[in-house]
């Protein structure tokens, strides 16, 4: 209930009897009513200001409201009890009645109970509301603590999984790729076949590059949870030419004019071209490819197309998630990635990103 509504209720209670009382009684009662506007800021002072109206005019609404507000906000129960007794006394002991006259009435215990009941009810209700609010606050704190505990447990599990994955990548994958690089380097030095020497050099270059990326990936996994960690160095468009040259595929690279691109966009383009050329090597042996980057209408489009394979593909393990991962990366940047077979038996991937 708003303060205005509360004051209106108390004023209605006061002016029910104002014409029966002296003007100064009504003035004191009005002071208590107006004081209700400040009941949340100074509850005890406001309650004291409402007592004259309760004693002189019999105005209970303002005093009960003030007592309720005091009980809601105060943890001093002795003070609340004292205020309730004071209000009950104002109601029980009428103006102008002496001590002897009051207690000579055989019904005075009933009068006392009648006076004490509303005061006790206001105090009890205020304490009940206070307890309910505090209980709700405690429940919220418990809920937040449990959520934080669950979050910490989840982060711990994720950290352990990342650490285990980093160990596996370091101990198994890096070891095997290192052996590939060493064997390719030895073959490059020992063979006299120019074609085999070139192939061995390509294998060694790719292996070394893979080792470098694996090393940075392991560092990222081990640093998980300690803050953002960037893969360094990050691939850019300037490295597309080296990527194409080292792919071992006859590839034409055409990069049109374009504005400066944000690093995430350049990384997405690089990874898409990298994955596409990897798929050409795996699934279309002997095919040639074409990589075209064009800018138009506020977007950049990269097309990677390859011809039909000239020989059967060797079976190689695949997670079959490469293009799906690139599609998700493009979606995060507000773009799209589409793929489809071409009429001549080849394949085409098209990446479109806003710039």
SS3 per residue for 110-154: HHHHHHHHHHHHHHHHHHHHHHHHHHHHHHHHHHHHHHHHHHHHH
Asked whether the predicted pLDDT for residue 250 surpasses 80, the reply is yes
Asked whether the predicted pLDDT for residue 98 surpasses 50, the reply is no
Q: Is 125 a domain residue?
A: no
What is the average pLDDT value for the chain, to the nearest integer?
79
Q: Which range, of 66-75, 224-233, 288-297, averages the lowest pLDDT? A: 224-233
Domain check: are 158 and 187 in the same one? yes
Domain check: are 213 and 254 in the same one? no
Structure tokens at 13: 């209670």
Which of 177, 198, 222 terminates a domain? The answer is 222
Say how far apart CA 206 and CA 75 lie, in whole Å.
73
Domain check: are 211 and 267 in the same one? no
Q: Is 346 a domain residue?
A: yes
Range of the domain at 168: 154-222
Question: Between 223 and 46, where is the model more confident?
Answer: 46
Which of 165, 189, 222 terminates a domain? The answer is 222
| The pLDDT of residue 12 | 63
Domain check: are 195 and 258 in the same one? no
Residue 212, preceding peptide bond in cis (omega within 30° of 0): no
Asked whether the predicted pLDDT for residue 205 surpasses 90, the reply is no
Domain check: are 251 and 341 in the same one? yes
Q: Is 109 a domain residue?
A: no
Specify the number of domains making up the chain. Answer: 3
| The pLDDT of residue 348 | 95
Domain check: are 218 and 318 in the same one? no
Question: Between 26 and 239, where is the model more confident?
Answer: 239
Asked whether the predicted pLDDT for residue 101 surpasses 50, the reply is no
| The pLDDT of residue 346 | 93
| Residues above pLDDT 90, as percent of the chain | 18
Q: Is 127 a domain residue?
A: no
Q: Is 45 a domain residue?
A: yes
Asked whether the predicted pLDDT for residue 86 surpasses 60, the reply is yes
| The pLDDT of residue 18 | 54
Q: Is 329 a domain residue?
A: yes
For 305, 315, 338, 345, the CA distances from 341, given in Å and listed in that order, are 9, 20, 11, 7
Which of 222, 248, 269 terminates a domain? The answer is 222
């Amino acid at each position: 209930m708003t303060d205005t509504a509360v004051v209106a209720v108390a004023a209605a209670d006061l002016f029910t009897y104002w014409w029966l009382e002296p003007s100064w009684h009504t003035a004191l009662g009005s002071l208590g009513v107006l004081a209700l506007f400040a009941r949340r800021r100074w509850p005890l002072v406001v309650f004291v200001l409402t007592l004259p109206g309760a004693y002189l005019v019999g105005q209970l609404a303002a005093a009960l409201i003030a007592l309720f507000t005091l009980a809601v906000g105060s943890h001093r129960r002795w003070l609340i009890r004292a205020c309730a007794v004071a209000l009950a006394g104002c109601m029980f002991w009428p103006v102008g009645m002496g001590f002897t006259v009051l207690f000579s009435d055989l019904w005075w215990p009933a009068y006392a109970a009648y006076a004490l009941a509303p005061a006790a009810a206001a105090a009890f209700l205020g304490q009940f509301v206070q307890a309910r609010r505090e209980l709700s606050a405690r429940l919220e704190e418990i809920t937040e603590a449990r959520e934080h505990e669950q979050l910490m447990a989840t982060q711990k599990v994720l950290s352990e999984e990342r650490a285990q994955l980093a160990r596996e990548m370091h101990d198994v994958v890096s070891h095997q790729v290192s052996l590939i690089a060493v064997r390719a380097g030895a073959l490059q030095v020992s063979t006299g076949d120019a074609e085999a020497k070139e192939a061995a050099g390509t294998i060694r270059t790719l292996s070394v590059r893979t080792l470098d990326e694996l090393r940075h990936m392991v560092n990222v996994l081990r640093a998980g949870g300690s803050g953002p960690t960037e893969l360094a160095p990050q691939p850019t468009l300037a490295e597309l030419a080296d990527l194409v040259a080292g792919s071992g595929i006859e590839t034409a690279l055409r990069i049109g004019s374009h504005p400066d691109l944000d690093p995430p966009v350049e990384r997405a383009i690089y990874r898409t071209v990298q994955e596409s050329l990897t798929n050409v090597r795996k699934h279309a042996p002997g095919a040639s490819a074409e990589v075209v980057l064009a800018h138009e209408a506020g977007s950049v489009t990269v097309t990677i197309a390859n011809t039909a394979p000239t020989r059967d593909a060797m079976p190689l393990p695949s997670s079959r998630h490469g293009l799906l991962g690139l599609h998700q990366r493009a979606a995060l940047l507000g773009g799209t990635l589409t793929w489809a077979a071409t009429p001549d038996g080849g394949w085409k991937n098209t990446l479109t990103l806003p710039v």
